[in-house]
Amino acid sequence: MDPILQLLLVCLATFTGAIAMGAIPFMRSANGFMSRLEDMTGLAAGFLIGAAMLVAIPEGIEMLGHAAEDAGLHEIDVFAVGIALTTGFLFMMILEAFGFGHDIHEEHHDHSVAHGHDHVNHPTKSVMPAIVGLTVHAFIDGMVIGAAMAEQSAALTLTMVLVIMMHKFPAAFSVSAFSLHERSDRNRSKLDLLVFAAATPVAILIFWNLFQDVSSMMRGLAVLFSAGTFLYIATVDVLPAMHVRSRSRRVAGLVLAGVLAILLLTIFAHAVLDIH
């Protein structure tokens, strides 16, 4: 397939998928969907953990290896691997600490039950920090897809696109549900969803172009940075449920199912796609 056509199709898929999922809270039937959101979040967390551990980290290290070979070196800078992963993890933690968190699905779920939100760290009279947090993460998602496509790794690209799509589904739902609850203007809520949905494809286009003229080292570090953000997001998503006995086993099972799915997908991608 022509690389430009493939790029446009991936951008279109990430945009339309987020819009379709984010449209659900605007419908009357959205309340019945709330009970499934936790299951989707647990499964998506498993996808993110599997993608970080089984795909992004190995692929990022391999990119650094290619860069080392091109530079005539015999080994990669392993310290750079740790720095990139740690930076991605801490970047998301710092955003959360300043109120720009991504974890708002728990909040609007609690609103629907008890109208409480003290446990979520964002200004109580402003929806923007929460929307910004999710949009920033969506932009980082686009960065890793752009890096994978620039590296021309079919296995990495396919896995990252599918994983990010699965994570964007509950995130897009959360953006709309939370925005509708906090805002009195449905049009403003639609704009929130539009900005969130556009963040990933815009980042894909930007970073695909930027990474065309950089070394495999820079692309590898970008992928490792993204892996660090994946680990933070997955951890934050599932930790609250793991401390509730009535929910912990079900969520743990969903996380394991997500990791297993990524493992099988990775085996398929490397066995079939990267051979041809």
* pTM, two decimal places: 0.82
pLDDT mean over 191-207: 94
Confidence of residue 225 (pLDDT cuts 50, 70, 90): very high
Q: How far apart are CA 26 and CA 190, in angstroms?
A: 9
pLDDT mean over 236-257: 86
Confidence of residue 26 (pLDDT cuts 50, 70, 90): confident
pLDDT for residue 11 = 94
Residue-wise pLDDT for 98-152, tens only, equals: 877 665 544 444 444 333 344 444 444 456 777 788 888 889 889 989 988 988 8
Residue-wise pLDDT for 259-268, tens only, equals: 999 999 888 8
DSSP letter, residue 114: T
Query: In terms of DSSP H, where are the helices of 98-215?
Result: 105-113, 128-151, 154-182, 186-210
pLDDT for residue 31 = 60
Mean pLDDT of the chain: 82
In 3D space, the residue among 214, 220, 209, 208 whose CA is nearest the CA of residue 66 turns out to be 220
